[in-house]
């Protein structure tokens, strides 16, 4: 039995999980599920990256300890993964002792073998990305000095360095000799270009505690913590047992895939391989970098308010359609565009129409005309030309799935499965079983229905890793057991057992009809007002209930650049996270807000304020110069209705 170890990046725990995080994790989940179906022993690891400056700052702003802060924020990821039915075998948090201990051992070992040394650093530091930078890294105008950029500081301090530079030529040779190591090919060329066009410098792997204390302490110098990337990357080996359990470690390592987004290519294809080389550990087989999800044509960014929240789609369409869309829509490696229109279009076309229709047609026909049982299969069922062609299309989908799984182009595999689905719908139209049902000789009818049911069975196996819940439902309805399918069976004809009772033909994917855009509420004329001027002194209860007031919890707050009064808040409203712009900066400091329970108008039309999207409005009481937030008396969950 072969083993299959797959990882996702570990996510910064401070971020709210969005579609980008969901995508990498889902992709890993789908691949892990396929490999389990192939009979591989599979280990799928994801987790959170919990150290660093931003966590420290957020915790301080909330007035809680860093540990309390990360213990709370990690739940957002764990909840989303549970919702998305992610089948990770482990979840690593870099604050766990099983990880920190290994990082410290690695550091000590590298110091002992002179792979790490201490030196004075005098250069530029990017406060935003928490990295040391050279002038070349910065997009400077002619004659501009780096410290003219607001986030760049000159820093002079002693630090510890990893001798990364000495591995430059070795790494170039390794990448050239192992074309599978960085995928897709154009990403390999990107890393090679980076390595061949400049001298690789040593990597600063420490931060003095005077600047940052939330990190793994260096085992040989208590005045420093470990640079967050040097800590985070080690998770890939600390969890499967490096330096703790040799046998387990050797079973899983080297990993088959590190899945990453294109934004973290250098850390994974330059830092990580040189670190492993220095440790004497073999390299992972493939680092695969996927592209970005864009919002239409634009980069998703919190400040533009165009970040897609997976929860919105899961709630509106269910988990499986969301999983399906992400897998089918992105050509692996390339960027892909997420728009609501595309989502609805694909949902209705592929799922409601093609697959959903096929499912309910087949089940309904069997229910109505074959006594609700899988019909007898005629001995020569596959002899007909139409049956042969349809079965060939189905088997082409099986082969394509196998091929594209290897080539990391699942979108193409899924496409081929849908081609088989469409071929089966066409086959039913040609054979017209509703007419065959009226004949005395039921053999042609049974041949049609058995063939279509077999195609549906194969389709349900191929799409099982992508849509586990819906495909399980379909399989149970076809009279199969509810265990994950065995991929071997997808190659075989005649697996469905005649006489087996089928389940009720439910609707797998109800067609999605967009709700009509709400008309702006008509203003009622006040009949007593004879001059026709609207009377603002009273409103009806109806008017009031149109305003949705809800409790919300402030997660983060920051000042909007170039404004005096505006703060940008991320607030939690029940399951949902929203962004609000509020003109309260003269009355509240941003760092005092996280954790507060406020009241917001939740159904206000989203609008941009100073170019920043605001999805609601908070309530405050103002008299003269004094402004105070409206809050709730005592404990109440966020998302509670106020009124
Ligand atoms: N903590 C580091 C990774 C350490 S791994 C040892 C990190 N975390 S992150 O929270 O910023 O998540 C990064 C990953 O999220 C990206 O590599 C990518 O997988 C995913 N994405 C974030 N935004 C994305 C899109 N808009 N589209 C697709 N994926 C992107 O970096």
* pLDDT tens digit sequence for 490-519: 999 999 999 999 998 788 999 998 776 555
Q: Taking residues 423-437, what's their average pLDDT? A: 96
Q: For residues 86 and 26, is the Cβ–Cβ distance under 8 A?
A: yes
- The minimum-distance atom of ligand 1 relative to the CA of 292 is 27
Say how many Å lie between the first and final Cα of the chain, rounded: 61
9, 76, 103, 307: residue to mutate for ligand 1 pocket, most atoms within 8 A of CB: 9
Question: What would be the CATH architecture of the domain defined by 541-642?
Answer: Beta Barrel (2.40)
**pLDDT confidence bin for 533, thresholds 50/70/90:** very low
Give the contacts of 527 (CB within 8 A, at least 6 positions apart). none
Per-residue model confidence (pLDDT) at position 526: 36
126 lines ligand 1 (CB under 6 A): no
Q: Taking residues 68-92, what's their average pLDDT? A: 96
- Identify which has the larger pLDDT, 251 or 144: 251
Per-residue model confidence (pLDDT) at position 537: 44
Q: Identify the bridge partners of residue 41 per DSSP, sorted by sequence position.
A: 3
Distance 311 CA to ligand 1 centre (A): 18
103 lines ligand 1 (CB under 6 A): no
- Identify which has the larger pLDDT, 127 or 572: 572
Q: For residues 551 and 638, is the Cβ–Cβ distance under 8 A?
A: yes
State phi, psi for 572 to the nearest 5 degrees. Answer: -100, 125
Residue 274 in this model has a pLDDT that exceeds 90: yes
- Identify which has the larger pLDDT, 177 or 121: 177
Q: Whose CA is nearest to atom 18 of ligand 1?
A: 261
Distance 258 CA to ligand 1 centre (A): 12
The domain covering 314-490 belongs, at the CATH homologous superfamily level, to Isoleucyl-tRNA Synthetase; Domain 1 (1.10.730.10)
Q: Taking residues 84-107, what's their average pLDDT? A: 98
Torsion of CA 375, 380, 381, 383, to 10 degrees: -170
Q: Taking residues 138-154, what's their average pLDDT? A: 86
Cα–Cα dist 70/57, whole Å:
12
Per-residue model confidence (pLDDT) at position 566: 84
Q: For residues 40 and 2, is the Cβ–Cβ distance under 8 A?
A: yes
- Highest mean pLDDT of the ranges 3-17, 503-517, 621-635: 3-17
**pLDDT confidence bin for 536, thresholds 50/70/90:** very low
52 lines ligand 1 (CB under 6 A): no
- The minimum-distance atom of ligand 1 relative to the CA of 232 is 6
17-21, 269-273, 546-550: the lowest-pLDDT one: 546-550
Q: For residues 51 and 207, is the Cβ–Cβ distance under 8 A?
A: no
Per-residue model confidence (pLDDT) at position 524: 37
- Mean residue pLDDT across the chain: 91
Domain ranges of the chain: 314-490, 541-642
Residue 528 in this model has a pLDDT that exceeds 50: no
Per-residue model confidence (pLDDT) at position 562: 67
Residue 623 in this model has a pLDDT that exceeds 80: no
- Check: pTM over 0.85? Answer yes or no: no
With a pLDDT cut of 70, the percent of the chain lying above it is 95
Residue 47 in this model has a pLDDT that exceeds 60: yes
73 lines ligand 1 (CB under 6 A): no
Give per-residue pLDDT as tens, 160-210.
999 999 999 999 999 999 999 999 999 999 999 999 999 999 999 999 999
Cα–Cα dist 231/257, whole Å:
19
Cα–Cα dist 146/135, whole Å:
7
Residue 534 in this model has a pLDDT that exceeds 60: no
Q: Whose CA is nearest to atom 17 of ligand 1?
A: 261
Cα–Cα dist 411/404, whole Å:
8
Q: Taking residues 401-424, what's their average pLDDT? A: 96
- Which among 394, 381, 366 is positioned nearest to 489, based on CA atoms? 394
Torsion of CA 541, 547, 552, 557, to 10 degrees: -140
In three-state secondary structure terms, 111 is helix
- Residue 185 to residues 191, 225, 407: CA-CA distances in angstroms? 10, 36, 12
- The minimum-distance atom of ligand 1 relative to the CA of 11 is 10
Per-residue model confidence (pLDDT) at position 298: 86
Q: Taking residues 581-593, what's their average pLDDT? A: 86
Residue 322 in this model has a pLDDT that exceeds 80: yes
């Amino acid at each position: 039995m072969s083993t299959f170890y797959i990882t996702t990046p570990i996510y910064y725990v401070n971020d709210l999980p969005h579609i980008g995080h969901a995508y990498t994790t889902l992709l890993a989940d789908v691949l892990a599920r396929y490999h389990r179906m192939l009979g591989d022993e599979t280990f799928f690891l994801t987790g959170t990256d919990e150290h660093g400056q931003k966590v420290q700052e957020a915790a301080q702003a909330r007035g809680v300890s860093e540990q309390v802060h990360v213990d709370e924020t990690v739940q957002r990821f764990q909840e989303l993964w549970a919702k998305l039915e992610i089948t990770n075998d482990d979840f690593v948090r870099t604050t766990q002792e099983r990880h920190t201990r290994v990082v410290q051992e690695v550091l000590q070992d590298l110091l002992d073998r002179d792979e790490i040394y201490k030196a004075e650093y005098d250069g530029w530091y990017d406060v935003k990305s928490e990295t040391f930078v050279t002038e070349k890294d910065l997009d400077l105008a002619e004659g501009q000095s780096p410290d003219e950029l607001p986030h760049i500081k000159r820093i002079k301090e002693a630090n510890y360095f990893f001798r990364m530079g000495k591995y430059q030529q070795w790494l170039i040779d390794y990448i050239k000799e192992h074309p599978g190591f960085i995928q897709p090919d154009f990403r390999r060329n990107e890393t090679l270009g980076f390595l061949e066009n400049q001298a690789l410098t040593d990597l600063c792997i420490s931060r003095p505690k005077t600047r940052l204390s939330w990190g793994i302490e260096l085992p040989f110098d208590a005045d420093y913590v470990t640079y967050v990337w040097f800590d985070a990357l080690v998770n890939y080996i600390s969890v499967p047992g490096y330096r703790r359990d040799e046998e387990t470690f050797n079973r899983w390592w080297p990993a088959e895939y590190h899945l990453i987004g294109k934004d973290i290519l250098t850390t994974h294809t330059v830092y990580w391989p040189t670190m492993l080389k220095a440790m004497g550990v073999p390299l992972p087989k493939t680092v695969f970098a996927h592209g970005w999800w864009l919002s239409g044509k634009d980069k998703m960014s919190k400040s533009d308010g165009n970040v897609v929240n997976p929860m919105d789609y899961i709630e509106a369409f269910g988990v499986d359609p969301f999983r399906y869309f992400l897998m089918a829509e992105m050509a692996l490696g390339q960027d892909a565009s997420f728009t609501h229109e595309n989502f609805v279009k694909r949902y209705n076309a592929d799922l409601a129409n093609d697959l959903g229709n096929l499912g309910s047609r087949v089940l309904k026909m069997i229910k109505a005309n074959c006594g609700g049982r899988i019909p007898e299969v005629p001995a020569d069922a596959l002899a007909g030309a139409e049956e042969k062609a349809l079965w060939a299309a189905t088997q082409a989908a099986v082969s394509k799935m196998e091929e594209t799984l290897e080539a990391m182009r699942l979108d193409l595999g899924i496409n081929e499965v849908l081609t088989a689905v469409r071929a089966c719908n066409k086959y039913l139209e040609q054979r017209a079983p509703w007419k065959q049902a009226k004949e005395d000789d039921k053999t042609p009818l049974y041949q049609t229905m058995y063939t279509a049911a077999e195609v549906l069975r194969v389709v349900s196996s191929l799409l099982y890793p992508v849509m586990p819940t819906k495909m399980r439902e379909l399989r149970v309805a076809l009279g199969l057991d509810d265990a994950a399918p065995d991929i071997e069976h997808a190659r075989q004809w005649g697996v469905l057992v005649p006489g087996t009772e089928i389940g009720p033909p439910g609707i797998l994917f109800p067609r999605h009809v967009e709700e009509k855009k709400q008309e702006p509420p008509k203003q009622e004329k006040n009949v007593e007002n004879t001059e026709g001027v609207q009377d603002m002194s009273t409103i009806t209860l109806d008017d009031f209930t149109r305003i949705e007031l809800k409790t919300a919890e402030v997660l983060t707050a920051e000042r909007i650049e170039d404004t005096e009064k505006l703060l940008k808040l991320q607030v939690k409203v029940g399951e949902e996270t929203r962004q609000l712009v509020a003109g309260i900066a003269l009355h509240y400091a941003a760092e005092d807000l996280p954790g507060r329970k406020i009241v917001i108008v939740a159904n206000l039309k989203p609008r941009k304020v100073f170019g920043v999207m605001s999805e609601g409005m908070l309530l405050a009481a103002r008299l003269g110069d004094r402004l105070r937030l409206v809050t709730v008396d005592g404990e109440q969950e966020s998302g509670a209705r106020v009124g």
